[in-house]
Amino acid sequence: MLRLLCITAHPDDEAGGFGGSLLFYASRGVETHVLCLTPGQAATNRGGARSDEELAAKRRAEFQSSCRVLKIARGEVLNYPDAGLDRVDFHAAVGDLTERIRRIRPHVMLTIGPEGAVTAHPDHSMVSLFATLAYHWAGRGNRFPKQLQNGLTPHRTQKLYYSTTLFSLPDRQPVSPPPVTAIVEIGSEFLEEKIRAFKQHTSQSPLFQLFEGMARKRGTRELFHLAATTAPRQMPMETDLFEGVKED
């Protein structure tokens, strides 16, 4: 069975840049996983929560509900501090992700680009760096060797993609996104489902209109940048993130 692992920073990131593709590949029989580093406890929109802990619990539940809409086989929210990923221990965070990659053994990984997506949120940039190094280090026997003492083995994921876009938000400073090298046509049904997945994040309801407008503007295409591959190549334009991927 083919496996896809998507690594994000906040509950709701899974729907925005990745939701249509996650659904598309689940519908094709790919086992999909989402790892979200923070429970989103620093959000401006708090859905009536009286403390960070209450908001974190609420957003963890919303994340699971979004994962059900997106037909994710397994979604996990870790416990890193929202709005603080640039101040956590770098080595420990990469180690956490490396261990999960060695367990899940994905064929393809997705994450955000180092620019931090259209919002340029520092957490987005950090998750990009953590996930990129974890992608590379999970396959090396001399990185985090202690993980390899109890049955885990190194794992080389065949491809790593960053989500990307062809526009900047009009009212924000522009970002420098990675160039588009892959276009996944998700179809109108999955576009509607992706919007429905975002709306499971009810604590974030003040953002629904903005999100829906942006999602409809992007339309039925999700854009990616091939950032690394186990099969060195010149850059082709792809329409399938599993193009050339071998089942093991």
Q: Which is nearer to Zn ion, 83 or 148 (CB)?
A: 83
Stretch that binds Zn ion, among 10-18, 45-53, 199-207, 236-244 (CB under 5 A): 10-18
Q: Which is nearer to Zn ion, 10 or 199 (CB)?
A: 10
Q: Which is nearer to Zn ion, 32 or 163 (CB)?
A: 163
Stretch that binds Zn ion, among 1-9, 63-71, 82-90, 182-190 (CB under 5 A): 1-9
**13 part of the interface to Zn ion, by CB under 5 A:** yes
Distance CA 21, CA 88 (A): 30
Q: Which residue has the closest beta carbon to Zn ion?
A: 10
For residue 84, count other CB atoms closer than 10 A to its CB.
14
Helix intervals (H) in the chain: 13-16, 19-27, 52-69, 90-104, 122-138, 187-198, 208-218
Stretch that binds Zn ion, among 6-14, 129-137, 192-200, 239-247 (CB under 5 A): 6-14
Stretch that binds Zn ion, among 7-15, 95-103, 160-168, 176-184 (CB under 5 A): 7-15
Q: Compute φ and ψ for 36, nearest 5 degrees.
A: -115, 125
CB 17 within 8 A of CB 163: yes
**201 part of the interface to Zn ion, by CB under 5 A:** no
CB 247 within 8 A of CB 107: yes
Q: Which is nearer to Zn ion, 82 or 238 (CB)?
A: 82
Out of 2, 4, 5, 10, the only residue in the binding site for Zn ion (CB under 5 A) is 10
- Cβ-proximal residues to 3 (8 Å cutoff; 6+ apart), any chain: 30, 31, 32, 33, 104, 105, 106, 107, 108
Instruction: Give contact residues for Zn ion (rule: CB under 5 A).
Output: 9-10, 13
